[in-house]
Amino acid sequence: MPEDGQIRAVIDAVLPQVDAGRFAVKRVVGEMLAVTAHVFTDGHDQVRARLCWRREDDSAWQELEMLPQGNDVWGASFAPEAQGRWRYTVVAWVDHFQSWRAELKRRIDPADLLLAARAGADLADAAAARAKGEDRKRLTAWAKNLRTRAEAVGKTTIDALDQVTSEIASIKTLALSDDLATVADLYPDRRHATRFAGEQGLPLVVDRLRAAFSAWYELFPRSAALEEGRHGTFQDVQARLPYVAEMGFDVLYFPPIHPIGRQRRKGRNNTLTPEPGDVGSPWAIGAEEGGHKDVLPALGTLEDFRTLVQAANAQGIEIAMDIAFQCAPDHPYVQQHPTWFRKRPDGSVQYAENPPKKYQDIYPFDFETEDWRAMWAELKSVFDHWIGYGVRIFRVDNPHTKAFAFWEWCIAAVKREHPDVLFLAEAFTRPKVMHRLAKLGYSQSYTYFTWRNTRHELMEYFNELAHGPGADYYRPNAWPNTPDILNEHLHDAPRAVFMTRLVLAATLAASYGIYGPAYERMEGRPREPGSEEYLDSEKYQLRHWGEWRVDREDSIAAFIATVNRIRNTHAALQSNRELRFFDTTNPYLVAYAKRDADGRNAVLTVVNIDATFTQSGFVHVDAGWMDVGGVGSYVAHDLLTDQRFSWTDGANYVSLVPSLMPAHVLKIQRSDA
């Protein structure tokens, strides 16, 4: 038998939750968490439910009354006010006082009314016993008055009851006093309450805003020098900060900045025969100068790096570090901890492979080593080390090739000490693996956006991200390019393609990034036809980019700055949840809108995904969804060109010339606003 067979309230289907509470739902500070639950009981009694929440380290729960939404669904919301781990749950119970009131309203027989009134007085006395101060006095007095009057009338003979009809009506009015019911509701009998998910409740991770809304810019520090042929330094990057800030990016991300291995170093364009002076791949980490806790001497010193982090912060930019847990053959770890690496039958260390690709300059860690505890601790200390230099964002390279258990432990341990630290999972792999990493604690995740080009592909994929089962834990970060991925769509592409993909990434996803200056300079030369590798890739050599100016004619940097300015000033574009696609009469026109949490700020984007020809057609919009329904016409203000159009609910004509402007980004507002 159960411990408490008197529990009658049922709580079911609490949403949101991730894998029955195994993993945490994610929100940012101040973001509303709307919770719903199925709450009911046997019979006809009334139930009440409350949403409860607390910081994980607190003992006291905060509570909010849940309201019925129909069909036994109840809901309430709260906004966590601080970073860290939280807990939330739903508590429900049979409300005997409200059940009594509901029955009393239906009673007609005088004798039944009098008995019910006396029962109500008993319930009021019980509530008074749980109350304090003036509330206790009010409930006690009310119960006494109700009982006394009911008993007095009850002593009247049945034949005389007709003579006291007005008194019975008065007693019923007293019993159904809304003011007294409000007081009684403050002191419910919860001895037999049901609590969902036990005393611990469901987990919630609350991050800072940048976890949900960010604009990333990636550059190779070694290519930041103004003079051609010179190796760039942290000081050179510091000189590029105004350029990055002017474009509107708030995260500046570097590939690995550590010493680069010399053994089996790769040459230009990934050749196995490097020439003297070839700089190698930054992802081949470690040499005699040090490993994951050191910097490449050619870039500067650790203190130079700290200075760069501080200078970036002063301009509203955070530095994101690439953490790649792998080693060059001459990394100190290889000699110091040989058991951390898998051996081949000939005794040599197994290098990284993804057949047919071979990475002879990289040794992966063996997560089945007997010395795994020491290895885990050392890898976690790499994050701690760079946190000490002011880094609060880490982009982790290929996390899907490391043990899931390690990530769950490591991320939790880091965030327990530093809840403001964010992790981006660079994992272009199978969907279930990517989602698992997000569940384990990654703050953001890469996406398949790079390979989603048609209207159908974009609609299907971003609807899944915004409204699918991962919406409560998987925060997408959309990149049109990376140093590893030059999608065929960008191969020798015209300016309009780079503009189009930028607009799509920046308006479909609240977080997005580009690898530059390659992207804004519209670099689209593949190593060979059909390859996703850049020709003369910065992964293997220095590049000279000339002047880093936003107003260059051979750059779309000024356009990017405009798009980022729009993102920063319109709350609708700072979340992924409120996304809706609209039908168009032309398959080359993609139309969608976003609105903010209260529905008052709406931005509608229309993109011509044909970079060659003008595309025209009608966009069928839902004006009510954008808070301009029922007003006849409204203003669609193009924030890219400052044009204004008069639109109506239903079909609106659009024509986009790719050589002029391949997209509209429209602020939707009432004509009288």
**Fold of domain 579-670:** Immunoglobulin-like (2.60.40)
Nearest to 567, CA basis, from 504, 628, 519, 514? 504
**Cα 655–chain centre separation:** 34
Identified catalytic residue from 397, 520, 578, 627: 397
β partners of residue 645: 636
Alpha-carbon distance of 448 to 458, in angstroms, equals 10
pLDDT of residue 598: 87
For the stretch 573-626, pLDDT in tens is: 999 999 999 999 999 999 999 999 888 899 999 999 999 999 999 999 999 999
For the stretch 352-375, pLDDT in tens is: 987 777 888 899 999 999 999 999
pLDDT of residue 169: 85
What are residue 33's phi and psi, to 5 degrees?
A: -110, 105
> With bands split at pLDDT 50, 70 and 90, how would you rate the model's confidence at 134?
very high
* The two three-digit tokens of residue 258, written as one number: 């550590």
> With bands split at pLDDT 50, 70 and 90, how would you rate the model's confidence at 410?
very high
Task: Determine the residue type at 217.
Answer: Y
Nearest to 232, CA basis, from 310, 324, 300? 300
Q: Which helix (H) or strand (E) holds 53?
A: strand 47-55
pLDDT of residue 159: 58
**pTM assigned to the model:** 0.94
- Are the CB atoms for 541 and 226 separated by under 8 Å? no
For residue 497, the SS3 value is helix
For the stretch 34-81, pLDDT in tens is: 999 999 999 999 999 999 999 999 999 999 999 999 999 999 999 999
Rounded (10°) angle between helices 372-387 and 404-417: 40
Task: Determine the residue type at 630.
Answer: G
The CB-based long-range contact list for 99-104 (8 Å cut-off, 24+ gap) reads: 99/44, 99/45, 99/46, 101/175, 101/176, 101/181, 102/46, 104/172, 104/175, 104/176
Alpha-carbon distance of 567 to 590, in angstroms, equals 19
pLDDT of residue 114: 85
* The two three-digit tokens of residue 618, written as one number: 């009608």
> Is the pLDDT confidence value at 2 over 90?
no
For the stretch 530-576, pLDDT in tens is: 999 999 999 999 999 999 999 999 999 999 999 999 999 999 999 99
Task: Determine the residue type at 345.
Answer: P
pLDDT of residue 110: 81
For residue 127, the SS3 value is helix
CATH tag, 210-257+295-325+365-568: 3.20.20.80
Nearest to 147, CA basis, from 127, 115, 171, 121? 121
* The two three-digit tokens of residue 399, written as one number: 């996390």
For the stretch 449-460, pLDDT in tens is: 999 999 999 999
| Mean pLDDT across 407-425 | 98
> With bands split at pLDDT 50, 70 and 90, how would you rate the model's confidence at 112?
confident
Nearest to 277, CA basis, from 224, 227, 231, 223? 231
Identified catalytic residue from 218, 426, 596, 610: 426
For the stretch 310-357, pLDDT in tens is: 999 999 999 999 999 999 999 999 999 999 999 999 999 999 987 777
| Mean pLDDT across 240-255 | 99
**Cα 237–chain centre separation:** 29
**Fold of domain 10-95+193-206:** Immunoglobulin-like (2.60.40)
Alpha-carbon distance of 339 to 564, in angstroms, equals 48
- Are the CB atoms for 578 and 596 separated by under 8 Å? yes
> Is the pLDDT confidence value at 162 over 90?
no
Identify whether 610 is a catalytic site residue: no
**Cα 36–chain centre separation:** 20
For residue 69, the SS3 value is strand
For the chain, the residue count is: 673
What are residue 304's phi and psi, to 5 degrees?
A: -60, -40
Lowest mean pLDDT among 219-223, 534-538, 667-671: 667-671
Task: Determine the residue type at 537.
Answer: S
Identify whether 426 is a catalytic site residue: yes
pLDDT of residue 635: 95
